[in-house]
A and B are shown apart, each in its own frame.
Chain A
Amino acid sequence: MAHKTNLKLLLILVFSLGIFLINQNNIVLAQSSYVLPYPSAMPGSIFYRVNLVKDELYKYWYFGDFGQFKYSLRMSDKYLVESKTLFEYKQYLLGYQALLSSDAYFSRTNPALISASEKGKNISEKKNILKEAAGKHVEELKQMKLIIPERFHWTPEKKMPTDLGLWDKIDNSINLRKKNYD
């Protein structure tokens, strides 16, 4: 009798596992609700230069601590998406550079909030936004790591070759964000 019950339990377990494996792709595990922007113009496009000028001007439009926080996060998002797109097209050097820019902007977000807090502004909501954004960035960075090689040797014409540690860079970027995520 006990043998039969064990068999039943085993069947239920196997069946459940089967269902789980079939639906594995549909399961969402603690994904961030933060939404990243669409990729904008890519390096090489004439609009890319126009966007660079526009972004430089926006730096002054987004004055104030909250303004600088928004600007830095917006730019960090933009370069992260750009980096991902470039990696997907195997433009590793450009993607690497975009990721450097994304990191540089991301590292400016928290100081802007600290400055706002020192001036007596309530930053709790902005902190939550930053946490959400960091979580989303980490998700994207982990996906990017799956599609790029560990290292990339770049040899430009008439210039010194460059060795890019892509995975190390991704890990650094994840760590930078995790400081805000955890």
Chain B
Amino acid sequence: MIRYFPSIYALVSIIFVIFSYLFVDINLLYFRNFYSGISTDLRLITSLSYAIFILIFFSSYLILLKNVQTAHIKKIIIVSCLGMLLSYPAILSYDIFNYIGTSKVLFIYHENPYLQMPIEFIGDPILMFTRAANKVALYGPLWVFLSGIPYAISFGNYFVSVFVFKIFVSVFYVGIVYLIRKLTNSYFSILLFAANPLVIIETFVSGHNDVVMMFFALLAFYLLKKKQLFLAFIFLLMSALIKYATLFLIPVFIYAAFQTINNRKLNWDRIYFYCFFSMLLVFLLSIFREEIYPWYVIWPFTFLVLIPAKKKEIYLFIALTFGLMLSYIPYMYSGSYFGIYRFLRIISIFIPPVFLGIYLFFQKNFKLNK
């Protein structure tokens, strides 16, 4: 069965890509040929289908984790990358349009995106479908500049730029996978990150820039391990200039750098755990800022996979990523972020990890009693 797994996974991924085009926005004139209206007319069916896809992806992921084989890892990563890159990006989030909008403000209109909102450029067709067009640039200046690369490559063609943006972001995903391999030399760790459905969907489908920020953060710690302190600091700074969240890593970085300067032996697993904890803190603090966005979990998860010995935490986190992917369903079903649907969204995030936590607790007690 496991031999055919990459083929099955590829098939499900292709069906998911087709499924994603059911969510094309009527206002998105560049994708108008793909518009069907199914996601809004048949909400129950699309929500259930999405739930089934998520179940299949996570089941496959767990099967993979139980059967770590190097040949499969590469195949599955390639299949996931190529397959999901072709999907419609706004099935779950409109952020990619926001990235392009911000990029357009700077590189086409030659205005400061930290002062001018996309909505100020009246008549621009992207305003018909870009959400949060009434906000100035939300990300760090390095991201704003980096986003000019995919925008330039696509020669201003909006349709092309959507996919070039996704390809651009996925390069950093490959970079993270490479660094995980370098840091741990564990295929389990690579698989944990690279095959996680949330990481794959949020990166290759939605094109979120979180992997860009985490790539630079991970590179900083990799260089720190190699005792290249200055370069390490520069890359940590670059990471914070993508999305600011990695500023929370600075205390851990200073501690590790101080120990390195004084030639003291470092327990790197402990350092990664501190990093994980710092990023978990920012992730949880995001509740107070706005709400929990599923892709934010990539921040702590990137460091957690570096400590494969922390099995319990890892499985609790996998359950959390599962819950976060399920949290899209209330909106998908109702089209509302408010009232009972907001409550259901929060519930769906925490139910899987809470249940798993209870299970692990009783399992431990049961073993002790035995």
Show the binding face of A for B, using Cβ within 8 Å. 61-67, 70, 119, 121-122, 124-125
In the assembly, what is the distance between CA of A119 and CA of B115, in Å?
19
In the assembly, what is the distance between CA of A163 and CA of B120, in Å?
45
- The answer to whether B110 and A63 touch across the interface, beta carbons within 8 angstroms, is yes
- The answer to whether B122 and A125 touch across the interface, beta carbons within 8 angstroms, is yes
- The answer to whether B121 and A122 touch across the interface, beta carbons within 8 angstroms, is yes
In the assembly, what is the distance between CA of A121 and CA of B112, in Å?
14
1/0 contact string of B120-136 vs chain A (CB within 8 Å): 11110000000000000
Taking the nearest CB of chain B, how far is it from the CB of A67, in angstroms? Answer: 5
- The answer to whether A66 and B116 touch across the interface, beta carbons within 8 angstroms, is yes
Taking the nearest CB of chain A, how far is it from the CB of B112, in angstroms? Answer: 5
- B159 at interface (Cβ–Cβ under 8 A)? no
A65: chain B residues within 8 A (beta carbon)? 110-111
B112: chain A residues within 8 A (beta carbon)? 61-64, 67
- 11 residue pairs of the A-B complex, CB under 8 angstroms, read A61-B112, A63-B111, A63-B112, A64-B112, A64-B116, A65-B111, A66-B111, A66-B120, A67-B112, A67-B116, A125-B120
Instruction: Closest A residue to B116 by CB, please name it.
Output: A66
In the assembly, what is the distance between CA of A63 and CA of B110, in Å?
8
Contacting B109 at CB < 8 Å: which of A61, A121, A124, A125? A121
Chain B contact patch, size range: 10 to 19
Instruction: Closest B residue to A124 by CB, please name it.
Output: B122
- The answer to whether B122 and A62 touch across the interface, beta carbons within 8 angstroms, is no
- The answer to whether B120 and A64 touch across the interface, beta carbons within 8 angstroms, is no
Contacting B111 at CB < 8 Å: which of A67, A122, A124, A125? A67
A63: chain B residues within 8 A (beta carbon)? 110-112
- The answer to whether A64 and B110 touch across the interface, beta carbons within 8 angstroms, is yes
In the assembly, what is the distance between CA of A63 and CA of B116, in Å?
10
In the assembly, what is the distance between CA of A65 and CA of B109, in Å?
9
In the assembly, what is the distance between CA of A65 and CA of B110, in Å?
8
Instruction: Closest B residue to A70 by CB, please name it.
Output: B115
Instruction: Closest B residue to A126 by CB, please name it.
Output: B120
Instruction: Closest A residue to B122 by CB, please name it.
Output: A122
B115: chain A residues within 8 A (beta carbon)? 61-62, 66-67, 70
In the assembly, what is the distance between CA of A34 and CA of B284, in Å?
40
B116: chain A residues within 8 A (beta carbon)? 64, 66-67
Instruction: Closest B residue to A125 by CB, please name it.
Output: B122
In the assembly, what is the distance between CA of A61 and CA of B123, in Å?
25
- The answer to whether A64 and B111 touch across the interface, beta carbons within 8 angstroms, is yes
Given contacts A65-B110, A121-B121, 16 further A-B contacts (CB under 8 A): A61-B115, A62-B115, A63-B111, A63-B112, A64-B109, A64-B110, A64-B112, A64-B116, A66-B109, A66-B116, A67-B112, A67-B115, A67-B116, A121-B109, A122-B122, A124-B122
B111: chain A residues within 8 A (beta carbon)? 63-67
In the assembly, what is the distance between CA of A6 and CA of B269, in Å?
99
B121: chain A residues within 8 A (beta carbon)? 121-122
Q: List the 4 closest pairs (A to B, CB-CB), nearest first.
A: A64-B111, A122-B122, A122-B123, A67-B112
In the assembly, what is the distance between CA of A95 and CA of B215, in Å?
55
In the assembly, what is the distance between CA of A66 and CA of B115, in Å?
9
For chain B, residues 2 to 51, give those with C-beta under 8 angstroms from any C-beta of chain A: none
A121: chain B residues within 8 A (beta carbon)? 109, 121
Instruction: Closest B residue to A60 by CB, please name it.
Output: B112
In the assembly, what is the distance between CA of A124 and CA of B121, in Å?
10
In the assembly, what is the distance between CA of A25 and CA of B76, in Å?
77
In the assembly, what is the distance between CA of A62 and CA of B111, in Å?
8
Instruction: Closest A residue to B119 by CB, please name it.
Output: A125
1/0 contact string of B199-243 vs chain A (CB within 8 Å): 000000000000000000000000000000000000000000000
Taking the nearest CB of chain B, how far is it from the CB of A170, in angstroms? Answer: 32
B122: chain A residues within 8 A (beta carbon)? 122, 124-125
In the assembly, what is the distance between CA of A62 and CA of B112, in Å?
7
Taking the nearest CB of chain A, how far is it from the CB of B104, in angstroms? Answer: 12
In the assembly, what is the distance between CA of A125 and CA of B109, in Å?
16
Instruction: Closest B residue to A63 by CB, please name it.
Output: B112
In the assembly, what is the distance between CA of A121 and CA of B123, in Å?
9
Taking the nearest CB of chain B, how far is it from the CB of A148, in angstroms? Answer: 35
Taking the nearest CB of chain B, how far is it from the CB of A130, in angstroms? Answer: 14
A61: chain B residues within 8 A (beta carbon)? 112, 115
In the assembly, what is the distance between CA of A109 and CA of B194, in Å?
52
Taking the nearest CB of chain A, how far is it from the CB of B149, in angstroms? Answer: 21
B123: chain A residues within 8 A (beta carbon)? 122
In the assembly, what is the distance between CA of A70 and CA of B116, in Å?
10
Taking the nearest CB of chain A, how far is it from the CB of B73, in angstroms? Answer: 47
In the assembly, what is the distance between CA of A114 and CA of B349, in Å?
51
Taking the nearest CB of chain B, how far is it from the CB of A124, in angstroms? Answer: 7
In the assembly, what is the distance between CA of A132 and CA of B112, in Å?
24
In the assembly, what is the distance between CA of A119 and CA of B122, in Å?
13
1/0 contact string of B93-127 vs chain A (CB within 8 Å): 00000000000000001111001100011110000
In the assembly, what is the distance between CA of A177 and CA of B13, in Å?
62
